[in-house]
Structures are given as structure tokens and as C-alpha cells.
Structure 1
Amino acid sequence: MAFDREVDLLVVGTGAGALVAALRAAKAGAEVLVVEKGALWGGTSATSGGGIWIPGSHLAAQAGHPDDLDEAFGYVRRLTAPNVSDEQIRAYVDNAHRMLEWVEREADVHYAALPYPDYYPETEGSREGYRTHLMPGEVDARTMDRAAFDTMQRASPAASLWGRINWKLAETHMVLFRPKGWMKVIVKVMAGYWLDIPQRLRSPRDRRLTLGTALLAQLRKALDRTGAEVWLDSPLLGLIEEKGRVAGATVRHDGRELRIGARRGVILAAGGFERNAAMRAAHLPGAPQPQASGSQVNNEGDALLAAQKLGAAVRNLDSAWWAPVFRIPGEDRGRLSTVERALPYSIIVNQAGRRYANEALSYHRFGEAMMAKNAPGAATDPSWLVFDSRYRARYPAGPVIPGFPDWMLSAAVRKVLVKAPTIEALAAKMQVDPTVLRATVDRFNMMVAQGRDEDFGRGDAAYDRLYGDPRVAPNPTLGSLAEAPFYAIPIHLGDIGTNGGLVTDGTGRVLSEGGGAIPGLYAVGNLAASVMGYSYPGAGATLGPAMTFGWLAAADAVRANEPG
């Protein structure tokens, strides 16, 4: 069969899983081509915090917190869906730490194991830290190819100041809770941004890359050094099957439909289908709005549909990485809420004016609560984040930035933010029964005075307290709503991507509806049905498996899929 171009390995997508796969294959001597649907590369990975959930890492051991892989396996097994195989879980748990060591060595990626608790502390095998890993440092974009930097996905508005200035996690903590020396930190960050005169004259983008953009920058630099090609504006149109195996794909590039041959296989790493309205309506009817997703806009399930045409099996298409989000008029995606819900002087209520869950839960678990508690007359989408003037002065509420008076907020933010001198007046503006909201606030304030949330246990778990204010005692997540004026902002059910998709084995090979592997075809990341099933065991449980199975898939393709 004639092809317009032939390579050893074709990788579809440019997120972290895709780049790890491409890098491993290229390092093994394979000729690699990476194609990206959009004009920007990096996928949703670049808009993320860049964290990875890695059991049993050498970094955790070096920090004095060695992990047990069998305990980690048991923890995931108890949480994940029954239709996820032991083989797939074991492949992840046993290889994630090996992948981490490899990217450290081959891509100069520097992670640290953090005292960041797992999300299900009540489940046997969970740990109060050191499975979540984050890059604590930064990457100077001047070390990148200029064109690669210019075409990189931007950081999420939720992870940057004014959508421009990038933050590290430690800096966010300093600005939030203002310990001694916090002003020096913010002055240094701001000065670094504004004094980069050549870049300010050229673009508002920050050349100091952090979190997900830092990870993607390091992976891209390493890949570029191998000579592998990355094509942008090159959507996948379909897969090519030849003699019972996937032999390549049709891709639109430079206005032409090209047949790309892939001698050793095709790795699909093009993200989920969260931006496809029709697919959401069919599989996620409880959350049908693509604009509520926090992911980048090109994830429309193209690769998933292409694989299904070849008989690929799918699993858990009704699943997503759920999250409460702020939706600001004019923005093309939801802003993930992580910190805001655990901070004192605030509660979240449904449209009846009642609390319905522990606000400080991880975002996936709180999103699940939003779905489970949604009911006629007590709808949870949207809910309301309600807070008082102390919260307003000290903490962010999505785009509502402390230290800036209300009139300085953007017109779009002022359009959704509600403010009133009393709880009853606030309830009227929220179209909530004032009597019910007043009773909810009074009960919450009574529990705050006692130091414990008797209704939902907010602040009981180590994870809850992670984002609480350490200056507030005895419970850093609890503070009364008592000081006027009072505020409320809608908080919607969203996601950071779907996580149901193609069924794969322990090396990332796509399985057919009949159960066997489809030769030459692999899937990783949110395109593949998650090894975590419907659960989200800890921070980084999206990128960790994407990178690990990308690493495994590339090795299998280069080793096992040579023709003949």
C-alpha cells in the first residue's frame, strides 16, 4: 500500500503521555512523527498542575517515606471499577516509578515527592503523602526553541495570575496565607515578569514556566533533541488497516490529506471527548455542556471514534474526572476550583440554600457529590459558593482576587458575583429562600464555634486541612460567615476531561470487542479507559498513568511490532 510518508511510530496528540511515548521510541532509535490537531501543542497536560501520582518512587524513599507497592495495588484495586483488570493495575503500580526514573534521566525532569494526602483516606492502603509528585522548580522558556514556546498551550487561568503570570505551588501558598516574607516572594515574581522587557514588548506570556507548562517544556526539549518531528494543525482523519494490523493513519496537513505509514505502530494519545457536545449528550447526560470542561478545546473524541470503526472495545464512557468549576462569561472553559472550597468563612449550598457535602473534598469527589445530590427543587448545578467579607479580603474565589476592590474586577466577573449587606438580601439575589439560607448559615456558624462540622466532617481528614488556613484554629477549614458584606458566586459541575475510552491491556495495546489486541494500535491518557475506573485516588492520577502507559506502549511498539 502506498503512503505519502512512512515512519516507524506515529503518535497522535502532544500531551505528557504522547511526548513520553514519542521520546522513548525516539531514544530507542525509531523514526517518530507526532501529529497534533490544534495550532497549539501540549494538550490538557500543559494546562494542568503537572502532578503525577507515583507509588513506590525513589524520591519518596529518599524523603524518608518508602512506599509498599502491594499496598498501593490494593488501594487502587479497592477503588477502581470491577471491569478494570488486575493486570492493568499491576502494570501501572509496578512501572510508574520506573517511568519516573527514566524521564528524570532522559528529559531532565525534576520532581519531588510531596506530603500530599491521597484522596480516599478512609480506604485501606491510602497514604497521607509522598505518592503525589510535583515539579517544585521552574523552566526558563529561553532554553526552548522559540517556535515551540510560541505554539505551546497556555497555562490554565486557574493556575496563573490574570492569565499571565505563572505560579509555583509554594508561591501560591505564600500568597494565600501570607507567612513572614510573603511580600518579598510576590515582589520577586512580579518583578521577574515585568522586568523581562524583551518578552513584554513581544507578548504578555510569561517565560517563567511552572507546573504543567514546565513539565511539557522539558519533555519537548528532550524530544526535539532526538530529531523527531511535531506537526501542528494536523488532525487525525482515520486509521489505516492493512493485513489485519493498523499500518498508519490519514492526517490532514498543510491543506492535504496524507496517508502516513507507521511501520511499528500508532499510539493514540489525543485526549478524551469532553468537548464533543453530541458524545456528552449520549454518555454524560448529567453534564452535557462542553464549555463546563476545564480541558483544552480540541478534545472531541476523534481518535476514539476512529478506533471504534476498527472494532475497538470501549469502557466506562459515562465517566469523567469530575470537578466543580467557575464559569466566567466569555471564557472558553471552566476554571477548576481546588483551594477555594476548603478555606474558612465560606460554604457551598444548593439552589434550595442548603449544604449537601463536605466542601473540602478533592475536586473529583465533590463533583461526584454534585451529581449524586442533584434533585428537583434542590439542584446542585450550579451551586453557590457563599462567603463573607473576611474571605473576600483574604482569599481568591476563582477570578475574584483578594486585595482588589469589587469595582476593579472585570465586567464578566462582576456579572456573576453577587453581593449584599445581609444573608437574607444575598439569598434574594441568589433566588434562594432567605429563611433556609439563614438557617443553613446559623447552623454552620454554630458548628464553627464548636470546632467540628457535625454534618459533613469538613476538616476531619488530612486532605481537607491541606488547603485550610493554618492561621485559623482549631479547624483550619472552618470559619463563621459573620462579617458583612456577604458574597456568592455560582459554581458549576464540570470536569478536567473524560476518562472512559478505549480498552487497553497492561502495555497500552488497544483491545477489540472480541478481547484480543488490535495489532499496531495503542492508546494512552484520557483516550484510554482509565486504570482508575470511576475513582481518582490522588493528585496526579491522570498524568501518572498517561505517562506510564505511554512509556510502556512505546517500548512494546518498538520491541514487538516490527513487520514480518
Structure 2
Amino acid sequence: MERDDDIPASVDLIVLGSGAAGLAAAVTAAHHGLSVLVVEKEDSFGGASAISGGTVWIPGNRQASEAKLDASLEAASTYLTHMIGSAIDRPLVETFLARGGEALAFLEEKSELRFKVRPFSPDYHMEVAGASDGGRALEVLEYDGSRLGRHFGELRKPPKGMLLFGGMMVNRGDVQHFLNARRSWTSLCHCLKLLARYAKDRIRHNRGTRLVVGNALIARLARSAFDLGIDLRLGVKTKALIEDGNRVCGIVVEAESGERRVRARAGVVFATGGFGASAEAGRWRSGTDVLHRSMSPAGNIGDGIELAGSVGAAMGEELASNFYWAPVSVLTLPGGQQEKFPHLVTDRAKPGLIAINRLGRRFVNEADSYHRFVLAMLAAPEVNSPCHLICDSAALAAYGLGLARPAPATNAALVRQGYLIKAGSIGELASKIGAEEGALRGTIERYNANAVDGADPDFGKGTNSYNRSMGDPDHRPNPCLAPLAKPPFYAVRLVTGDLGSARGIRTDAQARVLDAGGNPIPGLYAAGNDMNSIMNGTYPGPGITLGPALTFGYIAALHAVDRMKRLQQEEPR
């Protein structure tokens, strides 16, 4: 990156934040001829997007049409209408549906961003009208991080718990191959190939260069941004906005060289990632307690939202949820640092695992989405939060549990550190997790009796296509159900957590920031988690944050391009 004292005095467009929304806006604007400055206060780029699953939810995409999967915008509109309910912002939702495919096509054609459609990727609420089994979710293609050159070390690194062997990234397909490696020659070869590449990478790099999921998404966009000459500055904090009358026309930054004013002829885009990690976030998390953990990067403290508020921007109100929920387990390391693990797709839906509350009873369909899981915790936090995921030794060996890896890993260190609770009997397990033994024993006996037949009359685990897609496809009769019968037994404590904030700055369908009267503030845009959730804080499917982030980052940039053209036409000749 360039030196702070070389920050230009003026550019066409300023983007605050270097996640998916910000880079999509920057790449779109630069492709249309605008000079762009991206300002990132952290020492790495990518934000929460870089450590995300990298999936985007965009109905009506080209890939779905080509694969003859569900590409119906009408069905998607029906689904979102039922999911969001009466609070739906119809213009925003309709714009997302109408232009999401357009934004995706543009970014794939004009940048290095590439996606493939998941042929079977059910929405999170398959019981809702308009839900789809596949076609709306796309996953980013893997990327060679070495193509970033000297910038590779500046890309935000995923948390340690999401890496294998300290530095190897894997996606959902890779995980399945590792689980199948002992019973499938194809899977074994796939794993050996990954391991060989990783070993080679570690000769020259501090982690693997094969990037997948969110790291691949950001690396692809960043490479495109660098190729377009976009100026990306790290470690630069924005202190204030510059106004000209009621128009936002620049920023004041604080860098090593001191304060600098940077003018923005076309405007400023807020894409700083929301306020999930803010110390003030607790007041928006009704029902959670002090044990709550956010997966948001530490820098996502809402300073972008605060800056927008300083010029009169309005915030969203009365969302269904102010956060995108996910259960989280926490490992406390010897030095006191904490390693957080979000329980998204790797364990909860697998056979032989159930969730137990403080009373020793199940309280949720464990295979439902992470957002729905936490909503169940919050429905009765006095008994459901914290809770424990429990399993037997067969399930642990087959699938792992949170940070605990499947066989042949021993996980002895996690047991010593208190993260993985190990017990030789149900009675001992009840004592160690603080549950009433009789209740826990009765819960497991009832669950086991039904699991043998592949049934869960209490919570319906494994009865819908989303549940089954997260289970073990080789397990019968129900990919999500198996008895807990083989000691020793294991448990991991889960607390409420989140993947980021949903409450944000109100915008119109052009991504323009609105004031309290519903009027656009000229020169100011918002996208990503800075933008109030177009889903109103509901969570319809995988990638419902990144899909709108790319779409409205693209839309904001196009509006700024048109604004720049009008300003140029108004200049005296």
C-alpha cells in the first residue's frame, strides 16, 4: 500500500470499507472511469466478508438458468414476501431481485469474480411458500492467493479454528472429502492433493495460497481492484465527513502523517461492516447475556454508521432481529485469549448429535439454520442459553464437534483445556454440564428409540431438505439421526453469537442514504452491513448478506457514475 502522506487530495468516489460491498462498488465505479479511493482502518483488507462462507444468495442468476435450476424471480418474491412479512420494504426487495443477476453478471464479466451454482442448496425455511431446493445460492470458485503478490499478506486471515493444520483453507466439499477419506478412494486422492499443495505453499508462505469461501471472494475482487488502479489504503481512520450545503463531498482522515481532507466529487460509499463488535451492541441484543460472542471482526464497531448519523442519516427500526444469529463455542487459551468457533454447517445436523438445555432436555431442531437455532435459545434464555451440543464417541470420530476434529485426531488438548467435555457415562456427563441426570437420561433414551427408526417426532430433525443437506448423505434411514450409544460421551458449550449486525442505515433502492424524512442525502451511499437489512433481520437462506452486498455496492457505484456525468455536464466549458 502507499504511504499515508500520499493520500490524494481529491478523487471521484471514496469507499469506506474493503469487504464485498465496498470492493464491488469500487470495481464497478473504476470500470466506468471513476477514480476511486478505498479507505480501510484495519491493517488487513476484506473485513467480515473475508472470513465468511463466501456464498451469495441471488435469485434469477445466469448459472441457475443454464443448469435448469430454479431461476424464478416470482417464486423468490413470494418467498421473501412471506419471510419478511408486513415490514417488507417492497422497492428495495424488488430492486434486489430485478438487479441482483445483473450485478452478478457484470462483476463476473468485468472482474475476476467467479461463481458456480449449488445444484442442491435449500433455503433455510423450506416450509415457507416460494422456498427453493437449489438455484439461488452460488459459491465462489477457489483462487490462487499468490496472484495477489505482495498484497497476499494483507488479506484478512480466517480464524484459526476455520483452518486445518494451522493454515489450510477448506470449503464444504473439502470437508466432506476429509470425512469420507477412509471409505472413498476419490475422497482420499482429493485430500492428498490438498495436503501436497499445502506442504508446498508453506515453504514460501505462512499459510496456504489455495483460497476458498470468503477469502477467495475478497481476493478475486481485490486483484481486480488493483488491476483497475484503485487506491486501497490500510490503517487509515475516517474521522468526519465533509459537507457542502446538504451534500456530502468528502472525508477527513487520520493517518500517521496527521489529518487530511479528501474531496469526493461523486460521493462517499459506506461499507464498513456494521456494528457487531461494538461495545454498545449489547443494548440491541435483547435476551442475550454477557456470554454472547460476535464473529464480527474487532474493527466492526459501527463507526461508519455513526459518521452517517452525524449528517442526519436515519437508522432502521423494529427489525425482526438486529443481528444475524449463530451459536458459538469458545476456547480459552492459556494466555487468556479466546478462540471462537461458529457452529454453522459442520456438526449440528449430523447424526448422533443433539442440543441440551440447562434442564437436560432438547429444545430445538438441531439441523435448522444457525439463525433459527439461536432464536430458539433466545425464546427461553433462562434455560436455553448457554446450552450444550452432546454426542457419543462414534459421532465425534465421524464428524468432530466444533473445534474438535474427527478421527484420527485425539482432541486430548481440547479436553485438558476444558473446551471439549468428556464423560464415561450419561450420569457423569450430566454432572459435568450441570444438567439433571434423570432428565438427561430420559431425553437421550427417547431420542435414541426414535433415531433407530429415523424419526424425530419432537422436533423433526432431518424431515426437510435443508436439514438433510447438512446431515451425512451416507447415513440411513435419516441423514441427521443416530442414537447416542457409544461411550465416552462428549459435550461443547454453546453461547448465543452473531455473524454481524442487521440493523443499519436506511437507504432507497439506489443505495442512497436517507434522512429522517425519507429524503436522500446527496453524495452519500450505503451497502453491506452498514445498510439496513433488506430482509428486515430475517435469514431466508445462505448468502443473504453477501448477495445484497454485491448488488447494492454495484447499484451505488452506478448512481455515483451517473452523478459524476451530470456534474461534468454542469461544469462551465
TM-score tier after normalising by the smaller chain length: over 0.9
Which residue of structure 2 aligns with residue 267 of structure 1?
269
Aligned to 1:82, the other structure's residue is in SS state helix
Which residue of structure 2 aligns with residue 352 of structure 1?
359
Which residue of structure 2 aligns with residue 240 of structure 1?
242
CA distance in 1, matches of 2:103, 2:412: 46
Note the alpha carbon deviations across 1:380-433, whole angstroms, 9 max, x for none: 22110010010111112111011245464357x732211111101110011111
Which residue of structure 1 aligns with residue 3 of structure 2?
none
Question: Could you tell me whether the CA contact under 8 Å between 1:324 and 1:336 is conserved in 2?
Answer: yes
Aligned to 1:474, the other structure's residue is in SS state coil
Are residues 1:188 and 2:193 paired?
Answer: yes
| AA at the equivalent of 1:306 | L
CA RMSD, 1 decimal:
1.8
Which residue of structure 2 aligns with residue 470 of structure 1?
473
CA distance in 1, matches of 2:283, 2:531: 18
Per-residue deviation, 1:80? 1.6
Aligned to 1:490, the other structure's residue is in SS state strand
Are residues 1:32 and 2:36 paired?
Answer: yes
* 364-373 or 483-492, which deviates more: 364-373
Among residues 336, 357, 372, which one is paired with 1:365 in the alignment? Answer: 372
Note the alpha carbon deviations across 1:476-503, whole angstroms, 9 max, x for none: 1000011110111101110110111100
- Count of aligned pairs: 552
Question: CA 1:95 to 1:185, structure 2 compared with 1: closer, same or farther past 3 Å?
Answer: same
Question: Could you tell me whether the CA contact under 8 Å between 2:202 and 2:208 is conserved in 1?
Answer: no
Which residue of structure 2 aligns with residue 481 of structure 1?
484
Runs of 4+ in 1 over 6 A off after TM superposition: none
Question: Could you tell me whether the CA contact under 8 Å between 2:296 and 2:499 is conserved in 1?
Answer: yes
Per-residue deviation, 1:195? 2.1
Question: CA 1:290 to 1:430, structure 2 compared with 1: closer, same or farther past 3 Å?
Answer: closer
Which residue of structure 1 aligns with residue 446 of structure 2?
443
| AA at the equivalent of 2:226 | D
Note the alpha carbon deviations across 1:332-371, whole angstroms, 9 max, x for none: 5631112210001111011111110100001111111111
CA distance in 2, matches of 1:193, 1:479: 34
CA distance in 2, matches of 1:332, 1:33: 34
Are residues 1:313 and 2:317 paired?
Answer: no
Are residues 1:107 and 2:108 paired?
Answer: no
Among residues 152, 165, 168, which one is paired with 1:165 in the alignment? Answer: 168
Among residues 530, 533, 544, which one is paired with 2:533 in the alignment? Answer: 530
| AA at the equivalent of 1:473 | R
Which residue of structure 1 aligns with residue 132 of structure 2?
127
CA distance in 2, matches of 1:402, 1:541: 30
| AA at the equivalent of 2:365 | N
CA distance in 1, matches of 2:417, 2:395: 17
What does 1:90-489 correspond to in 2, within 5 Å? 90-114=94-118, 115-135=120-140, 137-146=141-150, 148-178=151-181, 179-181=183-185, 182-196=187-201, 198-199=203-204, 202-203=205-206, 205-278=207-280, 280-287=281-288, 292-316=293-317, 319-330=322-333, 332=338, 334-338=340-344, 339-375=346-382, 378=383, 380-406=384-410, 408-410=412-414, 414-489=417-492
Per-residue deviation, 1:287? 3.1
Question: CA 1:288 to 1:504, structure 2 compared with 1: closer, same or farther past 3 Å?
Answer: farther
| AA at the equivalent of 1:300 | I
Question: CA 1:492 to 1:255, structure 2 compared with 1: closer, same or farther past 3 Å?
Answer: farther
CA distance in 2, matches of 1:410, 1:357: 26
Aligned to 1:341, the other structure's residue is in SS state coil
* 330-339 or 362-371, which deviates more: 330-339
* 320-329 or 546-555, which deviates more: 320-329
Per-residue deviation, 1:284? 1.5
Identity %: 35
Question: Could you tell me whether the CA contact under 8 Å between 1:275 and 1:290 is conserved in 2?
Answer: no
CA distance in 1, matches of 2:165, 2:202: 18
Which residue of structure 1 aligns with residue 501 of structure 2?
498
**Consecutive unaligned residues in structure 2, runs of 5 or more:** 1-6
TM-score with structure 1 setting the length = 0.94
Question: CA 1:508 to 1:298, structure 2 compared with 1: closer, same or farther past 3 Å?
Answer: same
Which residue of structure 2 aligns with residue 14 of structure 1?
18
| AA at the equivalent of 2:465 | A
Question: CA 1:134 to 1:407, structure 2 compared with 1: closer, same or farther past 3 Å?
Answer: closer
CA distance in 2, matches of 1:430, 1:66: 44
